Structure 1
Amino acid sequence: MRLTAGSPSRLGASWDGRGTNFALFTANAQKVELCLFDGQGRREIERIELPERTEDVWHGYLNDVSPGQLYGYRVHGPYAPEQGHRFNPNKLLLDPYARRMAGRLVWSDAHFGYRTGSAREDLSFDRRDNARGMPKAVVVDEAFNWGRREVRPSVPWEDTVIYEAHVKGLTQRRDDVPPNLRGTYGGLSSPAMIAHLKRLGVTTIELLPIHGLVDDRVLVEKKLVNYWGYNTLAFFAPEARYAQDNSLDSFRTAVARLHDAGIEVMLDVVYNHTAEGNHMGPTLSFRGIDNASYYWLKPENPRYYDDFTGCGNSVNLSHPRVLQMVMDSLRYWVEVCHVDGFRFDLATTLGRGPNGFDRNSAFLTAVRQDPVLATAKLVAEPWDLGMGGYQVGGFPSQWSEWNDRYRSAMRRYWSGEGSLIGEISSRMTGSSDLFNHDGRVQRASINHITVHDGFTLNDLFSYNSKHNEANGEDNRDGSNDNHSNNCGHEGPTDDSAINALRLRLRRNQLACLLLAQGVPLILAGDEVGNSQNGNNNAYCQDNETGWIGWEGTGREGSDLIDFIAHLTAIRSRFPQIRKQRWLDGRRADGSYGVLWLTPAAEDMKEQDWKFPEGRFLAYVLGPVEQNDPPVFIVLNAAPEAIKFRMPKLPEYKSWQQLLNTADVKQTAADFPSGSETTAPPRSVLVFSGSA
C-alpha cells in the first residue's frame, strides 16, 4: 500500500504530514512517470508510474515521501511537432507547481527534445537523458511561523508610493548591510534597508521577478546571466540564488520583516511566456508535459508558436488548466507568502483570446471575482508585441496600469521640447483622457519616469544615446527612443554648470512624479544618482553595472534622499495631490477642483493653451475638506526665468513656498496674494495657501 491513487484536487506535490500526493495536468499524454532523486539530485533512485488519471490530471500518493525529497517527471506521448505535440520521456521535466527548486540548469544539448544539428531540426527526436543537468523540484512543508506581530500593511491606493528594486542589485553594494546578507532576501529586509525605505517615504517595494528562473544558454556562453529574471520556469518557487538556505522560508522571513515595518511587498510576475523559448528551444517543463495546452500555437501550423511577447512563446491562458495554474500561483503567493500585490509583465498577453485582447477574457474575469485577490494590488504592463497589443487605459476597473504616456510626456517636457503644456496638464492630474471611464479613478495611472528597463534618472540627463556594448549585441538591443538629454556632454563630466543643470532636471522629474495625481513609482538608486554608464538594457549585467552604486549617498550633487523625503511629506500632507476623484474647474458655488492660470494669474483660455512653444504651466488644486489649504504648483521648463503673479483668492492672504527645485537649501519664503515673483529657469515651485 505504499502507492495509492491519491487525489487530483491539488496539483503539485502536497505533503500532509504522513505522505505526499503528486498530481500533474496533461491532456495529451499517454503515461506519466514520477522520478525520485537522491539528496544531491544527481542520481535517480526510483521511477514510479502515476496510477490514476482523473479529468486529465495524473495522480498518485506515496506514504513514505516527506519534505526535502527531490523529484521530476517523465511524460510519455506522441512526438509530433507538426501537430503541436513534443513529448519526450528522455527529458526530465520540472513540475509546474514546484514550490522549491534544487540545483541549477547545466546547459547541454541533452536538454533539447530534438537532435541539435540535425537537418530535420526540431522534427528529429533526441534520446539522450538530461536529468543530471536539470534542476529538481522539492517537496516542501508549507507551514511557517509568521509570529503574532505580523500584520499586513494594507496601504490605501491613494497613499501608495512604489519603489521598484532588484533583490540582489539593491543591497549587493551597500556597506551597511552585513556581507553575508548582501544580494539576498535577508539583505532586502535588513534594518539598514528598511530604514532607508522609511526615510524616503516609500510604502511599497516592487521586486523584479523572483519566480524560479533559468539563464539563457546564449547568455551563459557569453559569461552573462539573465539578471533581471524575466525567464521564468517555476511560477510557485522563490528563486534560490537570492537565498542563503531554504528559499521559501528566506523569502517569507523577508516579507514578515518588511510588513512589521509597514512596508508592502509586490512582485513583478511573468506569466506571459516561459524560459523554453521558441520551437527550437529546450524541453524543460511545459513543452514536454503538454505543449499543445500550455502555449499559443499557430493554427495553420502548430509546429510554431504565436509569439506575442518577443521571447519565443506565449502562455495560453484561454486554456482552463493553464488559467488554473496562473490563478493557483497568484493565490499561493498571497495566502502562503503574504505578498500584497503584483505587477504583470506584458499583461496584454494574459488577456488574449482567439480574437486578440479581450478585457472580458477568462483571466481578467477570473481575477475580478477571486476573493483571495480582492485585496491585492494589481498592476498591468498594458502592452505586448502582438497585434492590438498596446492597451493603455484598456484594463478593467480593478486594475492599475503603467502609464508610459506620463513617462514620455514628462521626459520630452524636461528635455526642452515645447508646446506640451496641454498634455502635461493631463499627466499631472491623473491622465483622465486615458482612465476616466468605467468608474476608474486616478490610481489607475502608475506614473513613472524610469524603471528597470531603460536609462536610470542620472543617465537620462547624461546620455543622448544608449551604450549597451557590454551586452554583447553590438549595441543593437535596448530602445533608441529615450527622450534623453545629456545637457551638452555625453557621459560624466567635471563641468560644474552641466552637473548643476543635470541635478536640477533630476529634481524636476522627481518633483513632478511625487506631485502628480496617480500612483508614483520610483526606480531604486535614482535617489543617489545611480548610473549604468549609459546602458539602457542592463538585463544581463549581474555586476556593478546592474547593481546600485550607493557611493552617491551623502555626496552633494548625487544624494536626493532628503529631497524625495521632502516630496513624499508634501504628498502626504495635501489630500488633493492624492485625490481619487476627477478634477473639475470653477463650480457655481465658487469652489473648484483645479484652476489653470496664466503667468498673470488669470484663468487660461484656449489661446493660452496654444501659446507657441509654451513651457510654463501653473495651476491651483482646490481644498478637499473645508480647512485644507489650496496647493499652487508652477512648472517652468523654459531655459529662461519667467515672471508670474501669485493667485488672488479671497480667503487666502499669502502663499507659503514649500518647494523650489532651483534652490538646493529649500529656503522658506512667503508671498502676498497678487504679488509678482519669478520662476527660475527649468524649475518646479510649490506653494500652500495661508489665511
Structure 2
Amino acid sequence: MSRTVLPGVPYPLGATSSSRGTNFAVYSENATGLSVCFFDEEDKQTDCIELKERTAFVWHGLVKGIKPGQRYGYRVEGPWEPEKGLRFNSAKLLCDPYAKALTGEVDWKAPIFPYDVISGDDLKKDDQDSAAGVPKSVVIDPKFDWGDDCPPQTLLADSVIYEVNVRGFSKQNPMVEEKLRGTYAALASEASINYFKMLGVTAVELLPVHHFIDEGHLIDRGLRDYWGYNTLSYFAPMSRYSSSGDTGGQVREFKEMVKSLHAAGIEVILDVVYNHTCEGNRLGPSLSMKGIDNTTYYRQVVDNPRYYMDYTGTGNTLNVMHPQVLMLVMDSLRYWVTEMHVDGFRFDLAATLARDQDGVSKLSSFFNVIHQDPILQSVKLIAEPWDVGEGGYQVGNFPVLWAEWNGRYRDTVRRFWKGDEGLLSDFAYRITGSSDLYQQDGRRPYASINFVTAHDGFTLTDLVSFNGKHNEANGDNNTDGADNNDSWNMGAEGPTDDAGINELRERQVRNFLATLVLSQGVPMICGGDEVGRSQRGNNNGYCQDNEITWYDWKLDPPRKRLMDFTTKLIQLRKNHPNLRRRKFFQDRTIRGSVVRDIAWFNSNGEEFHEEDWGAGWQRSLGFMLNGNTLGVTDEDGVPLKDNSFLFMVNAAADGVEFTLPPPPGDTPWHQVLDTQNVDDPFAESDIGDKVILGGRSFRVFCDGRPKLQ
C-alpha cells in the first residue's frame, strides 16, 4: 500500500492524529534512518514508511490516512557497536516511547533480543525479525468528555492514603460484576467506591499502571508480574487492567475511573517507575529505547559503555541527566496530570532520579525542573527516598515540595511493638511527625508518609503471624525477598488454633493501626490490612497474580471487627485536627520542650526526664497533645482549636498502672480507645486518677467526648 508522507512536525513526540492523518515523531541522536511500520488486526505488517525529516535529532513525518486505532512500531537503523553502547538493529520492531496505548504481549520465544541468544554473545548481531513477539503501539483518539470533573485537592495533611493493586483489589469481590473484576472499571464501580468512602480514605495510590511486561523467567514458571515495576511505556495505561479492549479502550476506561473516583471525593495517586525499564542489561531484549538510542536513554559505565550502570537492581538505569530523557519523564508526568487527571505520584526508587555524576543531589536537574513546573507544583509528589546504589538511602533529604515514604517510621514502629529495647526516643519522634527528619528544611509533619506495611514485604496480618518469609511459590527456593522483617509470630509460625495467640495477634494489629492512623504525618494503609489480608507468609508477592495476593472479601468475625476498627480510627483522625497537625510543635524539639502543646509522661504521671528517655528497659510512655495550641486558623482567620488527647502506649508483656496527668483545661479525661478491648475498643467511659494500661496495648483519652461520626 502506498501512503503519502508529509514533513510533519517534530513536536509533540509520539503519534498525534488529526483530520489529515497522524504525525509521528521520535527522538534519536545516533540513528542513521528511522521508519514507522503499520500492522493489521492479525498482527501482520502492512506497510513500512521511512521518516526522512530530522529536526534537532527528532525524526518526524505526517502519514496521511492513518487514524486512531492503527497499530504501529518503529524500525531504527544505525551502527551496531555494542562495545560503544550502540545497539541499533532494524530487524527489531520497537515500541514508541510516547505511545499512549499498547496492544499485545511480549513473546519471549520470538527473536526479541538484538544479539545472538544461542551463543550468548551480546556483541554478535541477530538479524531475525522480532515483530511477531513485540507489543504494538496504538494511535489513540484523545477526546474525552470530562464534564465537570473536579479533583478533590485534599490537603496532604488531611490525607489518608490507601495503597492498592488495581487487579488484586476486585478480582475476588462478589459485589463487583464478574466480567469487570480486576480492571479499572471495577475500581470505579459502585461497590468499590462505596467501600473507599465507608473506610474513609481520601486517596488511592495505585501500584504501577504504566504498561509493563512479564519477565521471561516468570512465564517459564507459570507466573506473571503482579506489582508492575517492569515498565515498557510511560504514557500507556496497562492494557491487562482494561475491560474494554486494548486498542485505545484502556485509555477511556482509565479516564472514566478517575472521573468516578473524583466525583466521590477520592484522589488518584500513581506509583511511577522512572528509574529503569523492562529492557534489562546488555543481555536484555530490545523493545523500545534500547534500540532507538541506547546511549541517550540509559546510563552506561563510563569507561566501558558495553555495560549499564545499575542503581536499581534491575539491570539498567534511565539516563535522567540527559535533557531528552528528562523531557520524556516530564512529558509523561504532565500527560498523566493534564490528560488523565491524576492527582499525584509516588516515585519508585526516587534517589536514582536525583543522581548526577557525583551521586544523589538535591540540586539535580530533575528536582529543578519539577520545582519550576506550574502543572506539577499543584500535585502530590511522594518519594521512595532510596535506591540500591552507594549513598542511596536518603530519608529526610528530599527538597521542600516533596513528601517521603518514611522507612524509619516503619522500622521503629515495628520494632517498638515487637518489644525491642531502647526505642522510646525514636518512637516519640516517629509518632509526632519525625521533626528530626523534616523540621529543619522548611517542611511540615505531612512530609512524612507513615507506613507500617506496603506492597513490598509482609502484610500486617503476616507481620504478626510469621517470624520468617515463606516465598517458595516464587520459584527461587525462598532466597528472594527481605530476610529482616522485624516480625514476630507470637509463638506459632503461621495460622493457628491457639486462642491466646490469635487474641494477641489481633491486638497487635490494632496497636499497629492505631499507631499509624493517629500519628502526626500522613498515614498510608497497605490495601487489605484493614480486613486481615494474608499472603501466607510471602513477603515478595511481585509475581503472584493469584489468590496469594488477591484480596479475600469473605470476612469472618475477626476480620469484620478489624474493618470496623480501622473505619472508626480514620473517622477519629478526620474529625480532630489535633491528630493531623499542619505544624510541628512550636518548632521546638520534642525532648526537653517546656511548651505546653505537647508533654511526655511516665507511669507516675510525671513528665519524662532525660534518664527516662535513655532507659533501655522502658517500653511504655504517655503523651498529651494540647488542642488549644494548633497554631493555625480557620477560613475566617479564627484560631483553630480542638480537644486535647492523652495517649498511653505499652509494648511490654505486662500491664502498667498509670497515673493520669491533669488535662490542660477544666474538662476531665474521657476514654476514647483501648486496643485491649476485643469487642468494642472504642467503648466510651469515664475514668479515675489511675488506670491499668494492659500489656501490649494502646489507650487514648480525650478531654470531653470525641467525634466519631
Pairwise TM-score range, normalised by the shorter structure? over 0.9
Greater CA deviation, 260-269 or 415-424? 415-424
The answer on whether the counterparts of 2:663 and 2:669 sit within 8 Å (CA) in structure 1 is: no
| Cα deviation 1:417-465 (Å, max 9, x = unaligned) | 1221111000000111111122111111110001000000000000000
Q: Mapping of 1:185-334 within 5 angstroms?
A: 185-245=184-244, 246-334=249-337
Counterpart in the other structure of 1:147: 147
Q: In structure 2, do the counterparts of structure 1 residues 590 and 640 end up closer, same or farther at CA, with 3 Å as the change threshold? A: closer
1:50 equivalent to 2:51? Answer: yes
Counterpart in the other structure of 1:60: 61
Q: In structure 2, do the counterparts of structure 1 residues 399 and 588 end up closer, same or farther at CA, with 3 Å as the change threshold? A: closer
| Cα deviation 1:192-225 (Å, max 9, x = unaligned) | 1111111111000000001111110111111111
- The match for 2:491 among 488, 492, 499 is 488
Q: Secondary structure at the match of 2:427?
A: helix
1:501 equivalent to 2:517? Answer: no
Counterpart in the other structure of 1:369: 372
Counterpart in the other structure of 1:164: 163
1:512 equivalent to 2:515? Answer: yes
| Cα deviation 1:153-182 (Å, max 9, x = unaligned) | 100111100000100000001111110111
The answer on whether the counterparts of 2:536 and 2:548 sit within 8 Å (CA) in structure 1 is: yes
Q: Secondary structure at the match of 1:238?
A: coil
Greater CA deviation, 524-533 or 596-605? 596-605
Q: In structure 2, do the counterparts of structure 1 residues 13 and 325 end up closer, same or farther at CA, with 3 Å as the change threshold? A: same
1:135 equivalent to 2:128? Answer: no
Q: In structure 2, do the counterparts of structure 1 residues 59 and 677 end up closer, same or farther at CA, with 3 Å as the change threshold? A: same
Q: In structure 2, do the counterparts of structure 1 residues 587 and 308 end up closer, same or farther at CA, with 3 Å as the change threshold? A: closer
Counterpart in the other structure of 2:701: 687
Q: Secondary structure at the match of 1:303?
A: strand
Counterpart in the other structure of 1:437: 440
| Distance of 1:518 and 1:570 partners within structure 2 | 15
1:469 equivalent to 2:483? Answer: no
Counterpart in the other structure of 1:95: 96
Counterpart in the other structure of 2:114: 113
Q: CA deviation at 1:308?
A: 0.3
The answer on whether the counterparts of 2:95 and 2:136 sit within 8 Å (CA) in structure 1 is: yes
| Distance of 1:289 and 1:332 partners within structure 2 | 22
Q: Which runs of 5+ in 1 are unaligned?
A: none
Greater CA deviation, 280-289 or 655-664? 655-664
Q: CA deviation at 1:650?
A: 5.7
| Distance of 1:633 and 1:83 partners within structure 2 | 62
Counterpart in the other structure of 2:174: 175
| Cα deviation 1:525-550 (Å, max 9, x = unaligned) | 11111110000001000110011112
Counterpart in the other structure of 1:79: 80
Greater CA deviation, 496-505 or 172-181? 172-181
| Distance of 1:634 and 1:621 partners within structure 2 | 12
Opposite residue 598 of structure 1, the aligned amino acid is N
| Distance of 2:664 and 2:264 partners within structure 1 | 43
Q: Secondary structure at the match of 2:495?
A: coil
1:478 equivalent to 2:481? Answer: yes
| Cα deviation 1:278-328 (Å, max 9, x = unaligned) | 100001001000000000100110000000000000001000000000000
Opposite residue 18 of structure 1, the aligned amino acid is R
Opposite residue 160 of structure 1, the aligned amino acid is S
Opposite residue 136 of structure 2, the aligned amino acid is K
- The match for 1:530 among 529, 533, 544 is 533
Q: Secondary structure at the match of 2:122?
A: helix
1:647 equivalent to 2:661? Answer: yes
| Cα deviation 1:392-425 (Å, max 9, x = unaligned) | 1111010000001000011111112122111100
| Distance of 1:495 and 1:589 partners within structure 2 | 45
| Distance of 2:271 and 2:593 partners within structure 1 | 46
The answer on whether the counterparts of 1:591 and 1:622 sit within 8 Å (CA) in structure 2 is: no
Q: CA deviation at 1:669?
A: 0.8
| Distance of 1:626 and 1:12 partners within structure 2 | 50
Q: In structure 2, do the counterparts of structure 1 residues 364 and 590 end up closer, same or farther at CA, with 3 Å as the change threshold? A: closer
The answer on whether the counterparts of 1:618 and 1:634 sit within 8 Å (CA) in structure 2 is: yes
| Distance of 1:331 and 1:504 partners within structure 2 | 44
| Distance of 2:704 and 2:595 partners within structure 1 | 17
The answer on whether the counterparts of 1:4 and 1:51 sit within 8 Å (CA) in structure 2 is: no
Q: Secondary structure at the match of 2:75?
A: strand
Counterpart in the other structure of 1:637: 651
Counterpart in the other structure of 1:356: 359
Opposite residue 22 of structure 2, the aligned amino acid is T
Counterpart in the other structure of 1:667: 683
Q: CA deviation at 1:577?
A: 1.7
The answer on whether the counterparts of 1:529 and 1:559 sit within 8 Å (CA) in structure 2 is: no
Q: CA deviation at 1:643?
A: 0.6
Q: CA deviation at 1:649?
A: 3.5
| Distance of 1:138 and 1:276 partners within structure 2 | 20
Opposite residue 636 of structure 1, the aligned amino acid is N
Q: CA deviation at 1:557?
A: 5.2
Q: CA deviation at 1:591?
A: 6.0
| Distance of 1:589 and 1:571 partners within structure 2 | 25
Q: CA deviation at 1:653?
A: 3.7
Counterpart in the other structure of 2:453: 450
Counterpart in the other structure of 2:636: none
Counterpart in the other structure of 1:616: 620
Opposite residue 260 of structure 1, the aligned amino acid is A
Q: In structure 2, do the counterparts of structure 1 residues 608 and 103 end up closer, same or farther at CA, with 3 Å as the change threshold? A: same
The answer on whether the counterparts of 1:646 and 1:671 sit within 8 Å (CA) in structure 2 is: no
| Distance of 1:202 and 1:588 partners within structure 2 | 35
| Distance of 1:589 and 1:90 partners within structure 2 | 69
Q: Secondary structure at the match of 1:105?
A: coil
Q: CA deviation at 1:588?
A: 14
Q: CA deviation at 1:628?
A: 2.1
The answer on whether the counterparts of 2:626 and 2:664 sit within 8 Å (CA) in structure 1 is: no
| Distance of 2:403 and 2:591 partners within structure 1 | 29
| Distance of 1:587 and 1:605 partners within structure 2 | 9
| Distance of 2:641 and 2:224 partners within structure 1 | 55
Counterpart in the other structure of 2:635: none
Aligned residues: 685
The answer on whether the counterparts of 1:499 and 1:557 sit within 8 Å (CA) in structure 2 is: no
Q: CA deviation at 1:636?
A: 0.8
Q: In structure 2, do the counterparts of structure 1 residues 444 and 101 end up closer, same or farther at CA, with 3 Å as the change threshold? A: same
| Distance of 1:376 and 1:466 partners within structure 2 | 37
Q: CA deviation at 1:107?
A: 1.5
Counterpart in the other structure of 1:423: 426
| Distance of 1:27 and 1:205 partners within structure 2 | 39
Counterpart in the other structure of 2:634: none
Q: CA deviation at 1:63?
A: 2.2
Q: CA deviation at 1:64?
A: 1.0
Opposite residue 647 of structure 2, the aligned amino acid is I
| Cα deviation 1:660-688 (Å, max 9, x = unaligned) | 1111213211125xx11111111111111
The answer on whether the counterparts of 1:13 and 1:98 sit within 8 Å (CA) in structure 2 is: yes
Q: In structure 2, do the counterparts of structure 1 residues 163 and 474 end up closer, same or farther at CA, with 3 Å as the change threshold? A: same
Opposite residue 14 of structure 1, the aligned amino acid is T
The answer on whether the counterparts of 1:346 and 1:381 sit within 8 Å (CA) in structure 2 is: yes
Opposite residue 162 of structure 2, the aligned amino acid is Y
Opposite residue 418 of structure 1, the aligned amino acid is E
Counterpart in the other structure of 2:557: 555
Q: Which runs of 5+ in 2 are unaligned?
A: 631-638
The answer on whether the counterparts of 2:110 and 2:133 sit within 8 Å (CA) in structure 1 is: no
| Distance of 1:444 and 1:628 partners within structure 2 | 22
The answer on whether the counterparts of 1:213 and 1:234 sit within 8 Å (CA) in structure 2 is: yes
Counterpart in the other structure of 2:642: 628
The answer on whether the counterparts of 2:449 and 2:522 sit within 8 Å (CA) in structure 1 is: yes
TM-score of the superposed pair, with normalisation by structure 1 = 0.97
| Cα deviation 1:560-582 (Å, max 9, x = unaligned) | 11111111111112212211211
The answer on whether the counterparts of 2:597 and 2:626 sit within 8 Å (CA) in structure 1 is: yes
Q: In structure 2, do the counterparts of structure 1 residues 587 and 102 end up closer, same or farther at CA, with 3 Å as the change threshold? A: closer
TM-score of the superposed pair, with normalisation by structure 2 = 0.95
Q: CA deviation at 1:617?
A: 1.6
Opposite residue 649 of structure 2, the aligned amino acid is L
